Amino acid sequence: MNIRTMLHLVVTTFYVTAVLGAPRRDPQLDQHWELWMDRYNKTYHEKEEGWRRMVWEKNLKKIELHNLEHSMGKHSYRLGINHFADMTKEEFKQIMNGYKPKAEEKANGTFFKKPSFQKVPDSVDWRQEGYVTPVKDQGQCASCWAFSATGSLEGQLFRATGRLVSLSEQNLMDCSRSLGNHGCDGGLAKKAFEYVYTNGGLNSEASYPYLAKDNPQCSYNESYNAITIDGYAYIPSGSEEDLMEAVATMGPISVAIDASRDSFQFYQSGIYYEEDCSKEELNHAVLLVGYGYSDQNYWIVKNSWSENWGNNGYIYMAKDRNNNCGIATDATLPIIL
């Protein structure tokens, strides 16, 4: 069953439940609802708006409760209303989380070894060094794996050449299916790296633009090749120390995390620590661009859900807290010699 069929079943079930047993909407929130729809350019069919409003109100209450607990010192981060507020948890996971692990996923890469001559600094932020392109938006397509891959590729290209070039996620989506990726139905960054290596290159974003949907035809054009790589490497699984050394000495790293909690969907600011996160059940690919310390250690993570999500498209995730959310479980980077 593909993602669109599953989404249709979820929506249909939710709609029936809403019609038959939903509580009445809160009229005091009418103006807030209208302002939210206007801000995010939301439009609905007449029958759909009622239950989308119900979902929105339910999510708003969760956010308000969490932030009240934050003010009491129970959480290290705040939540905020965003463009996902009209989506149920089930819809959100089906549409936005596209990391698809497989048993044979570590077949062809090598293991990362920290350069012995480099000292690891106390903090790193590759955004400040020109390694990172602006935050992108995968839209309603579970292509996070492709954005995670291009982010790391873009960083390695800058490291090797001094040129920051936005690379094509659509090229990866359309052309790496034979390696096990599935476009808007999910995939793996490592398989994207394998495609770039075996194909001999990847097109730029400008020459092969993103469509936010599956395209059955691969349109890679060698004339617009923007990067070649010499392979890819794995960071030892579960080791935050090795992950820190890798991002400090090499640049942005492709990582996978458990992003299945409501708190991740509505993260806004602060350092994200979720005690209910899994270290093994990962479902979302993102880009690690650095780390630092304020009142606690944190990772700097670039997402692909637009600047409307999180802290201008970023999330600061708890570091050195027993591999919270599995950030060090499956980390890879492309290699340019």
Residue 110 lies in a domain: yes
Is 303 labeled as catalytic in the residue annotation? yes
Residue 45 lies in a domain: no
Q: What is the pLDDT of residue 179?
A: 94
Q: What is the pLDDT of residue 288?
A: 98
Within 8 A by CB and 6+ apart from 265, the residues are: 84, 87, 89, 92, 259
Q: What is the pLDDT of residue 102?
A: 65
Residue 248 lies in a domain: yes
Q: What is the pLDDT of residue 244?
A: 97
Q: What is the pLDDT of residue 76?
A: 96
Residue 59 lies in a domain: no
Residue 21 lies in a domain: no
Select which of 175, 284, 311, 324 is catalytic.
284
Residue 304 burial (C-beta neighbours within 10 Å; 0-12, 13-18, 19+): buried
**CA gap 251, 169 in Å, rounded:** 19
Beta bridge partners of 272: 317
Is 218 labeled as catalytic in the residue annotation? no
**CA gap 315, 311 in Å, rounded:** 6
Q: What is the pLDDT of residue 112?
A: 79
CATH of residue 236's domain is 3.90.70.10
pTM beyond cutoff 0.85: yes
Residue 55 lies in a domain: no
Select which of 82, 97, 141, 144 is catalytic.
144
Q: How many domains does the chain have?
A: 1
Range of the domain at 282: 90-335
* 139: amino acid identity, one letter: G
Mean pLDDT of the chain: 91
Q: What is the pLDDT of residue 110?
A: 75
Which residue ranges in the chain fall short of pLDDT 50?
A: 1, 3-22, 103-104, 106
Strand, coil or helix: 125: strand
